[in-house]
Amino acid sequence: MIYLDHAATAPVPRAVADAMLEVLTEQYGNPSSQYPLGAGMKRRVEGWREAVAALMDCPAERLFFTSCGTEGDNWALRAAAWQNRHVGKHIVTTAVEHSAVLECCKWLERDGYEVTYVAPDRDGSIPAERVLEAVRPDTAVVSVMFVNNELGTRYPVKPIARGLPARNPKTLLHTDAVQGLGGMLSARELGADFVTVSAHKIGGPKGVGALYIAPRVKNPRPLLPGGGQERGLRAGTEATAQIAGFARAAELRLERRTEIQGHLAGLRAHALERLLGFPDLTVLGGVSSDTAPHILALSLAGWPSQNIVNDLGAQGICISAGSACHQGKPSHVVAALNLPKRVSAGVIRLSFGPETTEAEIDACVQALRRHHDQRMPML
């Protein structure tokens, strides 16, 4: 099998699975229990928090474990809206956010909020100025993702953070950085008030993520009131095995981060070189340094993307037709680009990981060429 869908989820290294197994079978204490087994587990949870915080470059005491990126996005938006409930009921986001952000915004619209959805250019980019121009005196929160999960486009979160005080000093800034974790993400330098991440994009287990909440957020609204876990902000017994796996994955990625980023950039460049001159093919999301190295979005204009995915899947090559969270539905991200129908209907995504090889990319390109040459266009 050739796995080129790391943006959907990443394989779990043996070291991560072993760390989880130890907690499940040997160190199974409840961190809230008062005897030594529980107290020891509480100390370990805090150590794991520090490991994830090191990868994110943020203070561990401002990092809170969640169940996933979707939970973190929802918590951040609702906490920001609550803190700024006296500022106003206006939200600024983009038309290409993950569904976790967009669906939460739709629910907030039902609660009386007005949402401005900033449109991208055809290459997927969004200038910081366009986002800042949408900010008003009654804007409670701005939410702009760090890396687009379908296009790989990096968005100017840091310039937005720098420019936001001049537009409205009370407006809070959230970024979904799920696709940026493991890259050169620094929550300290980014300047966002909320930063969402998820473990399973870097080889950690599914079912655990984290939300960084900056000091500017005063008394954040709890996501789940209850037993006082996560400093009283997200109650519920900690998922210790998942957190252990998250921490081990973070440690492994931090140890090799520079090497891995160079490897991913080389893979993307190799893929682009192999695809050069490919008939009916368009590269989406740009080819510049403003694109994350692990994601490559393409369109085989005239050939339906799901047919391509099915054909390559039958050959043991795993690629996607967009976000796994769409579950086969049309992509709102691609729709926001306003591309010709033949182009938009043929969009596929290749995404790479530390284990991906150039030989695997070559095999994928060959399979794409066979699909193009042996099947008639349908659009």
DSSP string, 9-54: --PPPHHHHHHHHHHHHT----TT-SSHHHHHHHHHHHHHHHHHHH
Please give the positions annotated as active site: 325
Alpha carbon of 361 to those of 38, 263, 333, 356: distances in Å? 47, 13, 25, 8
State CA 173 to chain mean position distance: 16
In one letter, which amino acid is 150?
Answer: E
Q: What is the pLDDT of residue 327?
A: 57
Amino acid present at 29: G
State the Cα–Cα distance between residues 241 and 24, nearest whole angstrom. 6
Architecture of domain 2-10+257-374: Alpha-Beta Complex (3.90)
Mean pLDDT for back-to-back runs of 10 residues, the chain (379 residues): 98 98 95 94 97 98 98 98 97 98 98 98 96 98 98 97 98 98 95 98 98 94 93 94 98 97 97 92 78 96 96 98 65 95 95 98 97 85
Residue 379 has what pLDDT?
67
Q: Long-range contacts: 27-34, Cβ < 8 Å, 24+?
A: 27/240, 28/240, 30/237, 31/229, 31/237, 31/238, 31/240, 32/227, 32/228, 32/229, 32/237
| Cα distance between residue 198 and residue 123, in whole Å | 26
Contacts of 266 (CB under 8 A, 6+ apart): none
Q: 14-255 architecture in CATH? A: 3-Layer(aba) Sandwich (3.40)
> What are the tokens at 194?
């909320």
Sheet holding 172-176, edge to edge: 63-66, 209-213, 194-198, 172-176, 139-143, 90-94, 114-118
Residue 349 has what pLDDT? 97
What is the distance between the alpha carbons of residues 263 and 91, in angstroms, rounded to a whole number?
38
In angstroms, the CA 314 to CA 352 distance is 20
Q: Which residue ranges does the chain devote to CATH 3.90.1150.10?
A: 2-10+257-374
Name 18's Cβ contacts closer than 8 Å, sequence gap at least 6. none
pTM as predicted: 0.96
Kindly report, as residue ranges, where domains of CATH 3.40.640.10 are found in the chain: 14-255
Q: How far is CA 180 from the centre of its chain?
A: 6
Euclidean distance between CA atoms 317 and 364, whole angstroms: 7
Q: Report d(CA 319, CA 310) in Å as an integer.
A: 9
